[in-house]
């Protein structure tokens, strides 16, 4: 991001469905194919909450960024929303595009909306009818050897990382237990009963070394954010405006199917490319960040991303996690609403809501004291993304 764009955009409203109720309903409907809503319905529900949160009317929205695989055409139809600008993609793409659109002037107030009925629809991640195969050949090419599923690919990454850097089961478990402890302070979390390290170690392997508890919770639900120019956001909601300070991305495509960037690099060259540009554009670095959201379809994302983004070295990540650094009261609280592992799998969208809550000081019993700066990172299949947010007002 150029210095002109830095801090120019802020989140003015957030909304989401009640993930715990979504989960109960989805389980009851499991196998019947009858979801409470489709993705559009969940998204609409979340946007209604976000509009109330921002004190805005639907008519104030002139841009629409929709979470894939939803389309902006149908989402806009469901919402009765005609817009000057639209896009669709994953959450990082939606935010990146929204920053650009507001900075350039294509739109002034953008709704970012995601919804999914992946649980009741019975989406499979891996196996003979897995999701995501059009984008990543690695999800299907190795079927003749019985290797599919993102979980298995991350199990391979975890094993090698354990062998090279001494990461232990207990340290991976500390991520899971820590996020669950946060979820215990979040009424919306799907899984909020306490978990001990022994519970974790007793969890059955899915693809060893990853256990059931290392895997995300597939759920239905919806999330929405509303972003606008920072000065307008401040005029609308005062100090509850949360600035998006910087965005950076880097795609590691070379050798992706044969898992070269995943296994030989742990995506670190992408992490470092993103971290360097993100921290430079933000004017702060890992030592200044109070709360972190990591895209955690699997627990192993957390140690690898923290090392990649400069919070500790690969060799030290085991001790770092065992010390409780990412858990409540830790030095670098990670996924403070429970993340995908314990709150809900809304594909990184729910992480944005939690960072905004923390930076508004509205996270209730799990509030990180004095949180001023937040970081979101994702590195799914080598597509590394970083976003910094703060409550410090525009830095211009």
Partner 1 sequence: MPEVVRPGPAIGRDDWGLWRSVADRRLRLQRCGRCSRWWYPPGPCCPSCLSFEWSWTLVSGEGLVVSWATFHRPYFPEIETPHTIVVGQALEGPLLPTDFAYDQLRLKVGLKVTLEYYEARDRRTDRPFTQFRWRPSEHS
Q: Which residues of the chain form contacts with partner 1 (CB under 8 A)?
A: 126-128, 137, 140-149, 152, 155-160, 163-164, 204-210, 254-255, 257-260, 263-264
Residues 378, 92: Cα–Cα separation, whole Å = 8
Strand partners, 308: none
Closest CB to partner 1 among 112 and 172?
A: 172
Task: Using the minimum distance from each CB to partner 1, give the nearer residue, 56 or 207.
Answer: 207
Q: How far is the CB of 253 from partner 1 (least distance, A)?
A: 9
Distance CA 205, CA 212 (A): 6
Residue 127 or 370 with smaller CB distance to partner 1: 127
Nearer residue to partner 1 within complex by CB, 217 or 355: 217
DSSP state letter for 105:
T
* Angle (deg, nearest 10), helices 39-54 and 72-79: 60
**Smallest gap from residue 220 Cβ to partner 1 (A):** 22
- Least distance CB 215 / partner 1 (angstroms): 10
Which residue number, 211 or 340, has a Cβ lying nearer to partner 1? 211
- Residue 148 CB, shortest distance to partner 1, in Å, is 6
Cβ-contact 102, 229 below 8 angstroms? yes
CA distance 79 to 261: 41
CB of 151 to partner 1, least distance (A): 9
If phi > 0 it is left, if psi is from -120 to 50 it is alpha, else beta; for residue 318 that is: alpha
Question: 180 or 211, CB closer to partner 1?
Answer: 211
Do 266 and 304 touch, CB atoms closer than 8 A? yes
Task: Determine which helix (DSSP H) or strand (DSSP E) holds 52, and give its type and residue range.
Answer: helix 39-54
CB of 147 to partner 1, least distance (A): 5
Strand-by-strand arrangement of the 291-294 sheet: 85-89, 63-67, 109-116, 221-229, 9-16, 242-251, 383-390, 373-378, 291-294
Do the Cβ atoms of 140 and 196 come closer than 8 Å? no
Indicate the residue among 111 and 304 with the shorter CB distance to partner 1: 304
d(CA 81, CA 187): 31
Least separation in angstroms between residue 321's CB and partner 1 is 20
> Which residue number, 206 or 248, has a Cβ lying nearer to partner 1?
206
CB of 158 to partner 1, least distance (A): 8
DSSP secondary structure letter of residue 70: S
For the chain, state the CA radius of gyration.
20
For 58, 119, 154, 215, 259, the CA distances from 40, given in Å and listed in that order, are 16, 15, 30, 26, 34
Nearer CB in complex with partner 1: 146/370:
146
- Containing H/E element for 387? strand 383-390
- Of 3 and 257, the one with the shorter C-beta distance to partner 1 is 257
Picking from 140, 314, 126, the residue whose alpha carbon sits closest to that of residue 207 is: 126
**Shortest reach from residue 221's CB to partner 1, in Å:** 24
Minimum CB distance to partner 1, residue 30 (Å): 18
Strand 109-116 and strand 85-89: the pairing is: unpaired
């Amino acid at each position: 991001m150029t210095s002109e764009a830095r801090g120019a955009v802020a989140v003015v409203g957030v909304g989401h469905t009640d993930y715990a109720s979504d989960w109960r309903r989805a389980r009851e409907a499991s196998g019947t194919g009858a979801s409470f809503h489709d993705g559009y319905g969940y998204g609409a529900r979340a946007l209604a909450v976000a509009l109330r949160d921002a004190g805005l009317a639907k008519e104030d929205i002139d841009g629409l960024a929709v979470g894939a695989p939803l389309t902006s055409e149908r989402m806009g139809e469901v919402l009765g929303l005609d817009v000057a600008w639209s896009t669709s993609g994953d959450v990082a793409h939606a935010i990146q595009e929204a920053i650009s659109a507001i900075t350039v002037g294509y739109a002034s107030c953008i709704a970012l909306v995601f919804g999914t009925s992946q649980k009741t629809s019975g989406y499979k991640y891996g196996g003979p009818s897995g999701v995501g195969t059009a984008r990543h050949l690695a999800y299907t090419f190795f079927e003749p050897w019985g290797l599919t599923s993102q979980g298995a690919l991350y199990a391979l990454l975890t094993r090698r990382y354990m062998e090279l850097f001494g990461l232990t089961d207990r340290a991976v478990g500390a991520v899971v237990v820590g996020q669950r402890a946060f979820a215990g302070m979040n009424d919306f979390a799907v899984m909020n009963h306490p978990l001990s390290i022994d519970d974790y170690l007793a969890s059955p392997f899915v693809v060893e070394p990853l256990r059931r508890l290392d895997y995300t919770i597939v759920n239905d639900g919806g999330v929405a954010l509303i972003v606008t120019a920072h000065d307008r956001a401040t005029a609308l909601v005062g100090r509850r405006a949360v600035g998006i300070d910087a965005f950076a991305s880097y795609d590691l495509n070379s050798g992706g199917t044969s898992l070269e960037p995943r296994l030989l690099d742990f995506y670190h060259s992408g992490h470092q490319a993103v971290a360097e540009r993100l921290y430079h554009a933000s004017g702060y670095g890992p030592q200044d960040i109070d709360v972190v959201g990591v895209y955690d379809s699997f627990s192993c994302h957390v140690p690898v991303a923290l090392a990649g983004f400069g919070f500790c070295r690969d060799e030290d990540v085991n001790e770092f996690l065992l010390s409780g650094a990412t858990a409540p009261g830790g030095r670098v609280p990670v996924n403070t609403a429970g993340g995908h592992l314990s709150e809900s799998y809304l594909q990184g969208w729910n992480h944005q809501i939690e960072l905004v809550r923390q930076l508004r000081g509205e996270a209730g019993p799990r509030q990180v004291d004095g949180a001023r700066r937040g970081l979101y990172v994702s590195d799914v299949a080598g597509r590394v993304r970083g976003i910094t947010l703060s409550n410090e007002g525009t830095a211009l």
